[in-house]
A and B are shown apart, each in its own frame.
Chain A
Amino acid sequence: MPDYGQIQVGAGTLDARLVLGLAFILFLQGAAGVLIRRNPIVILVCVELMLNAANLTLIAFAAQLHNLEGQLFTLMTMTVAAAEAVVGLAILVDIFRVRDVDDIDELSELRG
């Protein structure tokens, strides 16, 4: 049985497991940033990092399966990421106009 995990890349091949491993590491880094960092902007940046890792898996499977839908879905993800960044940053700027926040935990007025 052939190893379908090898993606044809030009003259050579690339193991899809390597690409998925890279996406795994990047996603873990992003998750670690969201959990540990306190600066709201850095947390948004880490969310972008996780979205990029997800995009990488989509592209890898698109190339492995010779299926274009992964790439189309990546474009949708980028749109959602852009919308998320715009709204998140607008909220942050609005909050920062009233007061300084250097810890995300200070924003706890909505806890009910």
Chain B
Amino acid sequence: MSVPQVVFWVMAVIAVLGGFGVILSRQPVRSVLSLVAVMLALSVIFLLLSAQFVFAVQVIVYAGAVMVLFLFVVALLGPMRERASHRLPFHWGLSVLVLVVFGAFVYAQLQGIGFRAPDKLDMSLFGTVEQIGTGLFTTYLYPFELTSILLLVAAVGAIYLSRGGRTASEVHRQEEEDDSVA
């Protein structure tokens, strides 16, 4: 096995173990930290696949910023325990059934996968900031600008939902009471 393959296998094992950590941890903090491990392992694989800029974004924005946001919220809300409650009696069975059917379907698709010949492109510059920037600001300028609008909407929505004073649910309850009085 060549060095890239060894690196890939190590990172793949870390990612899969981290994925099990995400779904099996009892405490939300451990789930979030396991997801950080998955993301860092995936970022190394991105680097292997000559996606340098995406690697940097994954480490800084995703593992850095988004997951810290998750950690803040977990810390803010305090420990939560999951308790058995009245769910559908066959919930586990249904979940496993859905997963098995979906998994078998995708697995069958993976078996018959055929690859097209790669494009003729100079791979020495592939995935660099220069190429990504050229792509984002020429061909994909409009999608890029639309994502900025999306981020603005998300920021305004988050501020509205989490601002001080009355919460949105309390406002709703107040309106309901006003309606019942009137």
Contact = CB atoms under 8 A, between A and B. Distances in A.
Most chain A CB neighbours (cut-off 10 Å) among B12, B98, B153: B12
Contact of B168 (A10, A28, A48, A94): A94
A100 B83 CA distance: 13
Interface in B1-50: 2-5, 8, 12, 15-16, 19-20, 22-23, 25, 28, 31-32, 35, 38-39, 42, 45-46, 48-50
B42 A18 contact: no
A12 B49 contact: no
Nearest to B121: A66
User: Which interface class (under 10, 10 to 19, 20 to 34, 35 or more) fits A?
Assistant: 35 or more
B90 interface: no
Contact of A19 (B22, B45, B66): B45
Contacts of A36: 23, 92, 95
A7 B51 CA distance: 13
Given A74-B54, A86-B154, A4 B116 contact: yes
Interface in A10-25: 10-14, 16-22, 24-25
Contacts of A38: 82, 85, 87
B49 A63 contact: yes
A69 B140 CA distance: 9
A85 B69 CA distance: 8
A70 to B, nearest CB: 9
Given A72-B135, A80-B150, 18 more contacts: A9-B48, A10-B2, A25-B19, A26-B19, A30-B23, A33-B22, A39-B82, A45-B32, A56-B46, A63-B50, A68-B135, A72-B132, A74-B54, A75-B57, A81-B66, A86-B155, A90-B158, A94-B168
Interface of B: 2-5, 8, 12, 15-16, 19-20, 22-23, 25, 28, 31-32, 35, 38-39, 42, 45-46, 48-51, 53-54, 57-58, 61-62, 65-66, 69-70, 73-74, 76-77, 80-83, 85-87, 92, 95, 98-99, 102-103, 106-107, 110, 113, 115-121, 123, 126-127, 131-132, 135-136, 140, 143, 147, 150-151, 153-155, 157-158, 161-162, 167-170
5 contacts: A17-B113, A41-B32, A72-B132, A82-B61, A94-B167
Interface of A: 3-5, 7-14, 16-22, 24-33, 35-39, 41-42, 44-46, 48-49, 52, 55-56, 59-60, 62-69, 71-72, 74-76, 78-87, 89-98, 100, 102-103, 105-106
